[in-house]
C-alpha cells in the first residue's frame, strides 16, 4: 500500500490540518528569517570583512538554525507521536485499528509518518532559510546537504522511538522529558567527543565534522572515527548506526502493535541491540586506550563511565523484559507445572546472565591496553556485573509476582537496600568503608583503584554478595513454583 493511501496516515493528516499548520509554520519561519536578516545586516554593515570571519559568522547562524530545527523535528516529533498513540490507546481507537484488515506494519507506518506532519512542515520551512544562510556566508554546499540529511534521519529514528514509547508506556512521554534528558547528558557528550556513542546516535560529532570547526583542538574532536582501529567516516558511521537501530526498533514496534501484551523485542533481538551498543562503545575507546602510555588515573575513569553506561542500558532492558503476572499466568497455562525449567528459562534472570556476559566481553576487549589493571580486576568487574543484573531481575520479578499493584514500592525498597543503603550509611558516618558493601561498588572500585590488596578485599565482599544472591535465587525459584502450581489448577 502506498503511503498516501494509508488510512491511518490520511486520518492523522486530516486531524493535523484541521487543527491548523499555518500559524506554527509561520512562527518558525519568522525565527529563521530573522536570523537570515541579522546575518545579512552584519555582512552589509561591513563589520565582517575577512572570509574567515564571514565563515565563522555564517556557521554560528546556521548552527542556531539547526538547533531550532532539531527541537521542532526530533523533540517535537517524538512528543507528538507518543502522545497520539497513548491518547488513541486510552480511547480504544488503537484496538479498533488493530482489528482492521490493515497489517501491523501499515499501522506503524501511518502513525510514524502521519503523527508528526506538523513538525515536518515546520522543520522543512526552515531548510530553504538554512540554504540561504549557507550561500550568503559562502559556506560549502555539502554542509547544508549533510546536516539536513542527518536531521531527517535523526527525526525518523526518534519518531520510531516515539511509536514504541506510545505503545509501551502507560503515560505519554512528552518532549520536555526528552529535551531535559539531552541537556543532562550534553556536558558529558561534549567532553567525550568521538569517544561517546551518544554523539553518533544524536549526530553531534558528524555535524561538527561537517562544520569543520578548527577551534576544537581536543584529541577527541579532531580525529576520524576509529572502531577497533578501523577508520570510518563520521557521517557513514552515524548513518549506519541509525539505520541498524531503526530496523530493530521497527521490528519491535510492529510486534508490539500485533501483540500488545508481549514484550516488543524477542530475547535474541534484545541481546543483539545490547551487544551492538556495548561493542560499538568499547570499540570507540579501544584505539584511544592504545595511545595512552603509561596508564593514568583519569584514563581508568573512562572505563568506569563506559561500564556504568552498560549497566544502565542493561537495567533498562531488563525492566522492559520482565514478565508481568498476567504474562506469567499465560506462560504457565501453556506449559504446565511440570515444565518449570522452560518457564524459568524464559524469565528475566536468564536474560540478565546473557547481558552480563556481553557487557563483560566488551570490557575484556580493553585488557591489552590496560597494563595497570590485572586479570583479577577485570574478573571482579565481570562477577559484579552478573550480581547487579541478576539481583535486579529477580527483585523485579519477585515484586511483580508477590505484590501486584504494590510491586513498585517493594521493588524500590529492595533496590535501595541492596544498592543504596551502604552509601547512605557511609555518608552518615563519614566513612567510605561502608559504601564498598553496595552491590554496585566492587566493579567500579576495581576499575578506579587497581591496587591488588584492595581488589582482594573487594573480592571477599563479592563472595558475600553471591551468598545473598543464592538465597534470593532459592526464594525466587520457590515463589515461581507456588505461582505456577496455582496458575495451572
Please give the pLDDT value at position 132. 93
Please give the pLDDT value at position 294. 41
Do 250 and 236 share a domain, yes or no?
yes
Listed residues 264, 298, 322: the one ending a domain: 264
Q: How far apart are CA 265 and CA 272, in angstroms?
A: 10
Do 356 and 445 share a domain, yes or no?
yes
Do 220 and 290 share a domain, yes or no?
no
Q: How far apart are CA 204 and CA 387, in angstroms?
A: 35
List the grid coordinates of 366: 580493553
Listed residues 235, 264, 293: the one ending a domain: 264
pTM score of the predicted model: 0.85
Contact 250, 333 (CB under 8 A): no
Do 170 and 254 share a domain, yes or no?
yes
List the grid coordinates of 295: 596508564
Is the dihedral angle over the CA atoms 137, 142, 145, 151 positive or is it negative?
negative
In DSSP notation, 419-442 reads: IIHHHHHHHHHT-SSGGGGSTTHH
Torsion angle (degrees, nearest 10) of CA 144, 149, 151, 156: 160
The total of other beta-carbon atoms located within 10 Å of residue 105's CB is 15
What is the chain's pLDDT, residue by residue, as a tens digit (489 residues)? 677 888 899 999 998 988 888 999 999 999 999 999 988 888 777 665 565 677 788 888 999 999 999 999 998 999 899 888 988 888 888 888 888 888 889 999 999 999 899 999 999 999 999 999 999 888 889 899 999 999 999 999 999 998 988 887 766 655 556 566 666 666 666 667 778 888 888 888 888 888 876 554 445 565 678 888 788 888 889 999 999 999 999 999 998 888 887 778 888 899 999 999 999 998 888 866 655 544 444 456 778 888 888 999 999 888 887 766 566 666 656 655 555 666 677 778 888 999 999 999 998 888 766 555 678 888 889 999 999 999 999 888 888 777 767 777 888 888 899 998 888 888 888 777 788 889 988 888 888 766 656 778 888 899 999 999 999 988 888 887 777 676 555
Do 275 and 252 share a domain, yes or no?
no
Contact 218, 193 (CB under 8 A): yes
In degrees, to the nearest 5, what angle opens at C-alpha 188 toward C-alphas 184 and 191? 145
Q: Which helix (H) or strand (E) holds 47?
A: none
Residue 225 three-state SS: strand
Q: How far apart are CA 450 and CA 463, in angstroms?
A: 19
Do 40 and 162 share a domain, yes or no?
yes
Q: How far apart are CA 383 and CA 393, in angstroms?
A: 16
Residues 6+ apart with CB under 8 A from 443: 307, 311, 380, 381, 384, 385, 388
Q: How far apart are CA 187 and CA 184, in angstroms?
A: 7
Do 250 and 278 share a domain, yes or no?
no
Please give the pLDDT value at position 56. 82
Do 328 and 453 share a domain, yes or no?
yes
Do 213 and 319 share a domain, yes or no?
no
The structural domain count of the chain equals: 2
List the grid coordinates of 128: 530553504
Do 276 and 151 share a domain, yes or no?
no
List the grid coordinates of 350: 536468564
Please give the pLDDT value at position 467. 94
The total of other beta-carbon atoms located within 10 Å of residue 327's CB is 15
Q: How far apart are CA 374 and CA 372, in angstroms?
A: 6
Please give the pLDDT value at position 29. 93
Residues 6+ apart with CB under 8 A from 435: 422, 423, 425, 426, 441
Listed residues 264, 290, 313: the one ending a domain: 264
Residues 6+ apart with CB under 8 A from 453: none
Please give the pLDDT value at position 293. 42
Do 285 and 240 share a domain, yes or no?
no
Please give the pLDDT value at position 123. 94
Q: Which helix (H) or strand (E) holds 189?
A: helix 175-192
Q: List 225's β-bridge partners, or say none.
A: 232
Do 232 and 318 share a domain, yes or no?
no
Is the dihedral angle over the CA atoms 180, 185, 187, 193 positive or is it negative?
negative
The total of other beta-carbon atoms located within 10 Å of residue 282's CB is 24
Could you tell me the residue range of the domain that residue 248 belongs to? 1-264
Amino acid at each position: 500500500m502506498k503511503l498516501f493511501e494509508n488510512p491511518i496516515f490520511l486520518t492523522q493528516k486530516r486531524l493535523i490540518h484541521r487543527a491548523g499548520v499555518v500559524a506554527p509554520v509561520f512562527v518558525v519561519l519568522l525565527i529563521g528569517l530573522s536570523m537570515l536578516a541579522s546575518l545579512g545586516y552584519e555582512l552589509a554593515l561591513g563589520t565582517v570583512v575577512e572570509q574567515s570571519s564571514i565563515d565563522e559568522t555564517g556557521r554560528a547562524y546556521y548552527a542556531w538554525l539547526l538547533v531550532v530545527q532539531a527541537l521542532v523535528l526530533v523533540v517535537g516529533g517524538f512528543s507528538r507521536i507518543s502522545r497520539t498513540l497513548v491518547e488513541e490507546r486510552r480511547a480504544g481507537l488503537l484496538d479498533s485499528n488493530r482489528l482492521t484488515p490493515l497489517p501491523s506494519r501499515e499501522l506503524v507506518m501511518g502513525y510514524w509518518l502521519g503523527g508528526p506532519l506538523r513538525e515536518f512542515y515546520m522543520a522543512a520551512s526552515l531548510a530553504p532559510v538554512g540554504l540561504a544562510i549557507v550561500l550568503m556566508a559562502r559556506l560549502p554546499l555539502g554542509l547544508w546537504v549533510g546536516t539536513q540529511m542527518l536531521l531527517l534521519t535523526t527525526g525518523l529514528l526518534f519518531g520510531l522511538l516515539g511509536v514504541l514509547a506510545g505503545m509501551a508506556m502507560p503515560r505519554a512521554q512528552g518532549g520536555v522529558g526528552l529535551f531535559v534528558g539531552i541537556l543532562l547528558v550534553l556536558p558529558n557528550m561534549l567532553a567525550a567527543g568521538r569517544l561517546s556513542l551518544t554523539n553518533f546516535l544524536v549526530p553531534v560529532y558528524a555535524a561538527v565534522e561537517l562544520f569543520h570547526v578548527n577551534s576544537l583542538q581536543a584529541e577527541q574532536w579532531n580525529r576520524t572515527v576509529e572502531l577497533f582501529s578501523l577508520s570510518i567516516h563520521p557521517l557513514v558511521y552515524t548513518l549506519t548506526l541509525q539505520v541498524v537501530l531503526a530496523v530493530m526498533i521497527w521490528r519491535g514496534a510492529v510486534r508490539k502493535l500485533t501483540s500488545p501484551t508481549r514484550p516488543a523485542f524477542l530475547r535474541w533481538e534484545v541481546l543483539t541491540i545490547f551487544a551492538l551498543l556495548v561493542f560499538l562503545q568499547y570499540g570507540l575507546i579501544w584505539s584511544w586506550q592504545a595511545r595512552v602510555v603509561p596508564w593514568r588515573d583519569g584514563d581508568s575513569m573512562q572505563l568506569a563511565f563506559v561500564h556504568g553506561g552498560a549497566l544502565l542500558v542493561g537495567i533498562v532492558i531488563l525492566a522492559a523484559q520482565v514478565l508481568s503476572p498476567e504474562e506469567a499466568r499465560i506462560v504457565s497455562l501453556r506449559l504446565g507445572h511440570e515444565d518449570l525449567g522452560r518457564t524459568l528459562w524464559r524469565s528475566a534472570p536468564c536474560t540478565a546472565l546473557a547481558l552480563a556476559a556481553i557487557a563483560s566481553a566488551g570490557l575484556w576487549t580493553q585488557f591489552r591496553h590496560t597494563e595497570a589493571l590485572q586479570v583479577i580486576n577485570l574478573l571482579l568487574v565481570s562477577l559484579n556485573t552478573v550480581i547487579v543484573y541478576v539481583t535486579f531481575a529477580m527483585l523485579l520479578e519477585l515484586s511483580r509476582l508477590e505484590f501486584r499493584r504494590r510491586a513498585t514500592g517493594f521493588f524500590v525498597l529492595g533496590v535501595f537496600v541492596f544498592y543504596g543503603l551502604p552509601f547512605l550509611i557511609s555518608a552518615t558516618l563519614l566513612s567510605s568503608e561502608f559504601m564498598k558493601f553496595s552491590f554496585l561498588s566492587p566493579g567500579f572500585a576495581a576499575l578506579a583503584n587497581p591496587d591488588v590488596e584492595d581488589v582482594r578485599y573487594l573480592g571477599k565482599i563479592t563472595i558475600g554478595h553471591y551468598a545473598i544472591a543464592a538465597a534470593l535465587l532459592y526464594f525466587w525459584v520457590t515463589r515461581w513454583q507456588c505461582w505456577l502450581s496455582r496458575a495451572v489448577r
